[in-house]
Amino acid sequence: MKYTFSFLAVIALVLIAWLGSQIPGMQYLFGVAIPYLAIMIFLGGFVYRVVQWAKSPVPFSIPTTCGQGASLDFIKQDKLDCPTKTSEVVARMFLEIVTFRSLFRNTKSELHEGPKITYESSKWLWLFALIFHYSFLVVVIRHMRLFLNPVPAWLEFLDFLDAGAALQVGAPLLYATDLALVLGVVLLFGRRLVNRQVRYISLANDYFPLFLIFGIATTGILMRYFLRTNIDIISIKELLVGLVTFSPVFAAKIGSIFYIHLFLVSTLLIYFPFSKLMHLGGVFMSPTRNMANNSRAKRHINPWNDPTIKPHSYAGYEDEFREFMVDAGIPVEKELPPQKDE
Amino acid sequence: MYNKGTIIPGLALFVLFVTFPIWFNGLTTAGDLPKPELPPGGEKQCVMPADYMRANHMQLLNEWRDNVLRDGNREILEIDGKKYRKGLQMACMACHTKKEKFCDSCHTYAAVTPYCWDCHLTPNEAASKEAIH
């Protein structure tokens, strides 16, 4: 099954990191070498993918129009959904990236007795995606406290808000985004299972990132709240600050759960540029969103046009083939010149 | 490559974001490590081994808080012949008398702001309050 394979792959990764980090001397591999490799592959791969996309020509003007286009003065243009100016495109892109407007338009179709097909609004994907992406963003930003020394005040404030949103439960304090991230992943996964159409088109590479991120979130939560043996945050931070200042040190023995968490994150970074997760970069590069719908005002020239092929107007076409057209009885706009009688 | 004017600055911005911790820390300066001051009285023994305390002290304190304040269990712990009353000020700060030099050193480094001190007083603060009254 598609999800079993992805699930087993994540289990295998956990086992590799768990068993591997037990071997003396392998801490360096899992704690330093693989994370460095991962971040380099992530950055290099990301830039490579974006450059590859940037090299692909866009032959046609293909913005998706979702509202009234610019027309006569008394017809109100939908500036966000059918932008004609760069500023409107920027506004559209911004809202797409920040609020996922295109997911808000998601519909579901159902076949009823009759047969009769119905379409209705379905906002679940939009809601789950918002929960997931925003909590993931906050989790990533929060982790910066382990990489920055000294920690800036705004980061401490974010931490305070996050723990405060979960009502300061337990010690260490429970974070609201920890719960929201797991909830988001579970909801997105559940959607793939419950919705038959989505389940049918879901592939192993759709399930794998979900399991992987679920694994990252659960190992993080286990490390913070439950499996605290040898999880001394000071020696962990010393290692991580060491990583970003190119002088990593192992001050003390660190529990296996840390290496599992780090290995899964490294896997995510390595996997990222070669997967559907590249929608992070792709959302900026998608011509259906980042082009203005102004093809009537401004001619879109296909970059791969052969410059030796000149435009061929109808008048020119008729000039070229008039004789044959008249012969075949096809009406022409300009008749043949009268023949001289002999 | 098309649209170089927007894509190259965009990519540069992305790389800057991802490498934020590197240049924020000033490339190679790891900053100061915390140096918690050991008990001025010279005590060597704690309620639990140092390794355990480093990783789990917050959970132990939370448990004590629940025992004392929620369950009314003020049982006195006896560990290796020494008696401890459950409490931050009564047990921990009897030896680790300086919050500023002990607790704060690591908490600042790891950007942790425990809310212990919303209610508790450090020995210094307690002394100054007694002096006022």
Percent with pLDDT over 70 in chain A: 99
Average pLDDT over residues A37-66: 95
Q: Please state, rounded to an integer, the average pLDDT across all residues of chain A.
A: 92
Give the contacts of B124 (CB within 8 A, at least 6 positions apart).
B98, B99, B100
Domain ranges within chain A, ordered by starting residue: 2-310, 311-342
pLDDT digit string, tens, across residues A112-148:
998 999 999 999 999 999 999 999 999 999 999 999 9
Q: Considering chain A, what percentage of its residues have pLDDT values greater than 90? A: 77
B67 — contact with chain A (CB < 8 Å)?
no
Tokens of B58: 């917050």
pLDDT, tens digit (0-9, with 9 covering 90-100), for A251-301: 888 999 999 999 999 999 999 999 999 999 999 999 999 999 999 899 898
pLDDT at site A341? 65
Cβ–Cβ contact B17 with A under 8 A: no
Looking at chain B, which residue has its C-alpha nearest residue A232? B55
Contact call for A234 and B59, based on CB within 8 A: no
> Which run of H or of E encompasses B84?
strand B82-84
Total number of residues shown for chain B: 133
CATH of A2-310, one of 1.20.950.20, 1.20.200.10, 1.10.150.130, 1.10.3720.10: 1.20.950.20
Give the model's pLDDT for residue A342.
60
B-chain residue closest to A236, CA distance: B110
> Which residues in chain A touch residue B116, judged by CB atoms under 8 angstroms apart?
none
Amino acid identity at A1: M
What is the rounded distance in angstroms from the CA atom of residue A128 to the CA atom of residue A100?
Answer: 11
CA distance B99 to chain A (A): 17
Residue B4 sits at the chain A interface (C-beta within 8 Å):
yes
The CA–CA distances, whole Å, from A332 to A201, A264, A318, A338, A339 equal 52, 71, 7, 14, 17
- In this prediction, residue A103 has a pLDDT band, given cuts at 50, 70 and 90, of very high
Query: Could you give the ipTM of this predicted complex?
Result: 0.89
- Whether A215 has a pLDDT exceeding 80, the answer reads yes
Q: What percent of chain B has pLDDT above 90? A: 29
- CB-nearest to A57 from B2, B7, B51 is B2
Query: Which two three-digit tokens encode residue B109?
Result: 């480094």
Are the beta carbons of A102 and A93 closer than 8 angstroms? no
